[in-house]
Amino acid sequence: MSDANSPSVPSSASRRDFLKNSTAAVVGGSLAATLVAPAAVHAAGSDVLKVGLIGCGGRGMGAAVNAMNAEENVKLTVLADAFPDQIKHARDVLSKQIGARFAVDNEHCFDGFDAYKKVMASDVDVVLLCTPPHFRPAQLRAAIEAGKHVFCEKPVAVDGPGVRHVLESSRLAKEKKLSLVSGLCWRYDLGVRETIQRIQDGAIGDIVAIQENYLTGTLWHRGRQPNWSEMEYQMRNWLYFTWLSGDHIVEQHIHSLDKAVWLNGDKAPVRCFGLGGRQVRTDKQWGNAYDHFAVCYEWDNNVKCFSYTRQMSDCGNDVDDYILGSKGQAALLRHTIKGASDWRYRGPKPSMYDVEHKELFAGIRSGNIINNGEYMSHSTLMAIMGREACYTGQTITSEQMLNSPVVLGPEKYEFGDIKIPEIAMPGITKFA
Ligand SMILES: NC(=O)c1ccc[n+]([C@@H]2O[C@H](COP(=O)([O-])OP(=O)(O)OC[C@H]3O[C@@H](n4cnc5c(N)ncnc54)[C@H](O)[C@@H]3O)[C@@H](O)[C@H]2O)c1
């Protein structure tokens, strides 16, 4: 592994290659060429499933533990991260936490921008994609092409070309009978599942409107070390740079927006407008991220979703999904329905993060593969179009957003100087 503090080897990963692939995905010309022989699609009941983790941060380590909790016959064998210190930390933590099932030797720790390619070349059956969202489209495509089953954290992209790329990868996964489980974890919460099932069965009549609240406090900031290049600084503090995180409407509020997509047949809304800005996090340490967004979304059947997200300290917080129907109302995270008769979910509440992995492994073993590709792409699209509506002050349609040619981020992945992104100004910033 290279030195944690001077990751100076330029990456061979070129942004142009990505652009090219993404454009091909739109016209649909390259898919057949990328299809290779069907993968070994499932392991027999007794086979040990080998897991590789890409992105050894907080969620990545959590996902590795969830994978081990899900099944006895699973081992963690490969770790990859852009930064060697992150791998070292993950080795220390995970070797203690998962004991004998931590089976990662020195030869299977990979760092750098291309580390994920080495994971794909290894003999793992399953990969956990847990880097900042910007890198997801390329890593997901590489995993599917290499015949790996995937657990894929949310969001899955930060721009239109990224969403298109992921939609293509999802179709490819279906063709190759590879599982693709999304980290949109509320889909795996038994209480939310049953509440939504009852709404879909008519418990509150027709859905008229949805209110999504993700009103919460601030998250971490990792400071700046004198030996970090601007690229390293932005990657270490990826939450605050739109090209890496998508901004917090995409990175965090997607959990809420995904439930609105779920209630609308897994479809993205057709248009939206919104308001947003940065009122408290104005210092340059906060990159170009906003600290609040309010967006009104609309589907083609006139259902509306009013969504609010704020990351500020010392304000009133609320995170829930309020569904207004023609015959009642529901609150999804409270698991309550007030309709012709009142109901509250009182069933079992296993960890939704463990359930994600239990269902992933059960699907791989039985051959009943799971593919969450479409909804995770549509929820990401919904979040990105909301961001662009607020950044520009314009109404944005899902079609415009999906067909946008704009790829966020630097042309090349290498540690050195990169542009400090501009802060969007409604009415001045243009949608492209
Ligand atoms: N489902 C959930 O509840 C949930 C909760 C938290 C985070 N997340 C998602 O998980 C992802 C990771 O978040 P986190 O909180 O673990 O962040 P983190 O910063 O703690 O970890 C990210 C890791 O990825 C590494 N990384 C960055 N670029 C990389 C690259 N190109 N290749 C390999 N490694 C790279 C970083 O060095 C870091 O170790 C994000 O998409 C986030 O939105 C989901």
Atom 25, ligand 1: which residue's CA is nearest?
55
The whole-angstrom separation of Cα 22 and Cα 24 is 5
How deeply is 86 buried, as exposed, middle or buried, from its count of CB atoms within 10 A (0-12, 13-18, 19+)?
buried
User: Band of the pLDDT at 5, cuts 50, 70, 90?
Assistant: very low
Q: What is the pTM of this model?
A: 0.92
Please state, for a pLDDT cut of 70, what percent of the chain lies above it. Answer: 89
Instruction: Tell me the per-residue pLDDT of 149-167, one tens digit each, with 9 for 90 and over.
Output: 999 999 999 999 999 999 9
The whole-angstrom separation of Cα 124 and Cα 302 is 46
Token pair, residue 153, equals: 């954290």
From ligand 1's centre to the CA of 323, what distance in Å?
31
From ligand 1's centre to the CA of 394, what distance in Å?
31
Q: Which of 51, 14, 236 is nearest to 132 (CA)?
A: 236
Q: How many CA atoms lie within 13 A of 382 on its CB side?
A: 34
Ligand 1 atom showing the smallest separation from residue 113 Cα: 31
Q: Which residues contact 64 (CB under 8 A, 6 or more apart)?
A: 51, 53, 76, 90, 94, 98, 128
Across the chain, mean pLDDT equals 91
User: Band of the pLDDT at 34, cuts 50, 70, 90?
Assistant: very low
Once rounded to an integer, what is the mean pLDDT over residues 5-31? 37
The whole-angstrom separation of Cα 429 and Cα 347 is 48
Ligand 1 atom showing the smallest separation from residue 183 Cα: 1
Atom 43, ligand 1: which residue's CA is nearest?
251
Probe residue for ligand 1, chosen from 54, 79, 81, 311 as the CB with the greatest number of ligand atoms within 8 Å: 81
Probe residue for ligand 1, chosen from 59, 372, 380 as the CB with the greatest number of ligand atoms within 8 Å: 59
> Does the pLDDT of residue 114 top 60, yes or no?
yes
